[in-house]
Amino acid sequence: MREQIEEFSKVENVARKFIEAVRTGNSEIVKPYFYEKASFFGQLNEKEYQSGSIQGFYDTIDKMGSIKEDYIARVDVLNIEKTVAVVRVIEDNWHGYKFTDFLIMNKINGEWKIVAKVYDTLS
pLDDT, tens digit (0-9, with 9 covering 90-100), for 46-80: 777 778 899 999 999 999 999 978 999 999 999 99
What is the value of pTM for the model shown?
0.91
Output the 3-class SS for the chain: CCCCHHHHHHHHHHHHHHHHHHHHCCHHHCHHHEEEEEEEEEEECCCEEEEEECHHHHHHHHHHCCCCCCCEEEEEEEEEECCEEEEEEEEEEECCEEEEEEEEEEEECCEEEEEEEEEEEEC
